[in-house]
């Protein structure tokens, strides 16, 4: 019924809270991953994650009976091929397409990120793609990323406690709740409930003989209360009092079996207290992040609407101004991308660079059709097609051009 110390380390401390913020490492080029086994999901609402820890973001939920293809295992986790319904993300700057169904990668070592159906996270890099690689396009996100079918080399992760290997004959039970669903999904592994049942069974057999003592009866009573505490939501649990209840049994010398049993329970309830504290820390971080997000949205809503100007003199380039995935907020270089909204794709037609000491406000113009008056111009070269860079000194809000509606062969608008 309790997590052991090694499970605690694997579940929370090894990856650390930085796992919520970054993903690092060297990613190999796309290589086929051989399937080493097939598994069947044993419970409902089981999370698939972007990496092998609870700190990685959730991707999709699977239900009992769903199948997964396993390519490797690491500790408590199986690395699997992306299940049906999942997708990957690539910056739209690095995909050329003519029909929004099939695209071609136009740069080298382009990052492919794990997309989620449950949240907006995208920090986990699954693999890298080379120039000329063909990808299947599934859709576009407002932030400029393109949803693609997971390419060769992309994988996801699932807690192995919820997977029964096909043909192994080994059933791994899930920890039940009152409604029959897994307890905390992959946050509280079902091996906890299995260990609890096994411990209770062992203790009962030890107490059935003449060697039964008052110490063992006290253990039974405390275990019942501890199981009731474990059934509560994680943040409502309080295991600190159980240390004081088990400790006198661990300190006595009349019954060695009871003493050893209580010593193990003291260590386990301490670990459970640490687990509750860790979940509370994560919850507070989530609250802080949500508060900051709402503050940002409130500040942005106070930005007054701008009336487009009719003057377009001195403009070097014009287009719709968007945030660049290559230069997110906080980057050393403040650079944004311009696209042609009348074009067939969101291909970048130029970058707009904001000098650090210019004081030029960008937020009021994001997502709008603008003209750029520039103080300098140069060309970005490298692994992708050359793109002009304009050092902005002023933005001019313009009326966007009308986008022609392309008709399909039968006269109906495109789907």
Residue whose C-alpha is closest to residue 85's, from 48, 119, 43: 48
Phi-psi category of residue 100: left, alpha or beta, with phi > 0 → left and psi -120 to 50 → alpha: left
Structure confidence at residue 4 (pLDDT): 37
- Which residues are 39's β-sheet partners? 68, 165
Residue whose C-alpha is closest to residue 401's, from 343, 342, 322: 342
Residues 415 and 408: their CA atoms lie apart, in Å, by 9
0.75 exceeded by pTM = no
Dihedral sign for Cα 224, 227, 233, 237, please: positive
Q: Which string of DSSP letters, residue by residue, matches 243-273?
A: HHHHHHHHH-SS-HHHHHHHHHHHHHHHHHH
Where in the chain are the domains? 5-165, 209-302, 317-397
Residues 176 and 297: their CA atoms lie apart, in Å, by 40
Instruction: Write down the H helix ranges in 191-345.
Output: 191-207, 214-230, 240-251, 256-301
Q: Would you write out the chain's pLDDT as a tens digit for each of its 415 residues?
A: 333 333 333 333 333 333 333 333 334 445 678 888 999 999 999 999 999 988 899 999 999 999 999 999 988 899 999 999 999 999 999 999 989 899 999 998 999 999 999 999 999 999 999 999 999 999 999 889 999 999 999 999 999 989 998 864 443 333 333 333 343 445 444 444 445 445 545 544 544 443 446 888 888 889 888 888 888 887 788 888 999 999 999 899 888 888 888 899 998 888 888 888 888 888 888 888 888 888 888 877 776 665 555 456 789 999 999 998 888 877 888 999 999 888 777 788 899 999 988 888 898 999 999 999 999 998 877 655 788 999 999 999 998 887 655 444 444 343 3
């Amino acid at each position: 019924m309790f997590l052991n110390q090694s499970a605690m380390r694997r579940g929370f401390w090894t990856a650390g809270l930085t796992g919520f913020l970054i993903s690092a490492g060297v990613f190999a080029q796309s290589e086929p991953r051989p399937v080493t086994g097939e598994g069947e999901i044993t419970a409902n609402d089981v999370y698939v994650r972007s990496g092998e820890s609870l700190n990685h973001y959730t991707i999709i939920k699977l239900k009992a009976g769903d199948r997964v293809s396993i390519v490797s295992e690491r500790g408590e986790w199986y690395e699997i091929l992306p299940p049906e319904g999942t997708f990957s993300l690539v910056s739209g700057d690095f995909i050329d397409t003519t029909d929004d169904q099939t695209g071609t990668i136009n740069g080298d070592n382009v990052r492919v990120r794990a997309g989620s159906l449950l949240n907006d996270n995208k920090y986990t890099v699954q693999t890298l793609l080379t120039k000329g690689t063909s990808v299947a396009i599934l859709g576009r996100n407002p932030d400029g990323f393109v949803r693609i079918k997971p390419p060769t080399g992309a994988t996801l992760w699932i807690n192995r406690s919820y997977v029964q290997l096909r043909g192994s004959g080994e059933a791994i039970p899930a920890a039940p709740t009152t409604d029959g669903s897994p307890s905390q999904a992959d946050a509280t592994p079902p091996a906890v409930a299995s260990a609890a049942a096994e411990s209770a069974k062992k203790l009962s057999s030890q107490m059935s003989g003449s060697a039964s003592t008052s110490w063992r009866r006290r253990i039974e009573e405390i275990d019942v209360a501890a199981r009731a505490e474990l059934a509560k939501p994680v943040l409502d649990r309080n295991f600190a009092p159980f240390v004081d209840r088990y400790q006198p049994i661990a300190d006595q010398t009349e019954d060695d079996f009871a003493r050893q049993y209580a010593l193990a329970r003291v260590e386990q309830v301490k670990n459970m207290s640490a687990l509750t504290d860790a979940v509370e820390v994560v919850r507070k971080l989530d609250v802080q992040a949500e508060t900051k997000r709402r503050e940002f949205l409130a500040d942005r809503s106070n930005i007054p609407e701008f009336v487009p100007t009719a003057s377009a003199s001195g403009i070097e380039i014009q287009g719709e101004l968007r945030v660049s995935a290559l230069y997110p907020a906080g980057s050393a270089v403040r650079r944004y991308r311009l696209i042609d909204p009348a074009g067939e794709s969101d291909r970048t037609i130029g970058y707009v660079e904001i000098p650090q000491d210019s004081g030029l406000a960008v937020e009021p113009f994001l997502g709008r059709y603008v003209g750029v008056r520039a103080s300098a111009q140069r060309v970005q070269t490298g692994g992708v097609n050359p793109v002009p860079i304009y050092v902005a000194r002023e933005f001019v809000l313009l009326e966007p051009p009308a986008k022609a509606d392309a008709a399909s062969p039968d006269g109906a608008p495109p789907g």
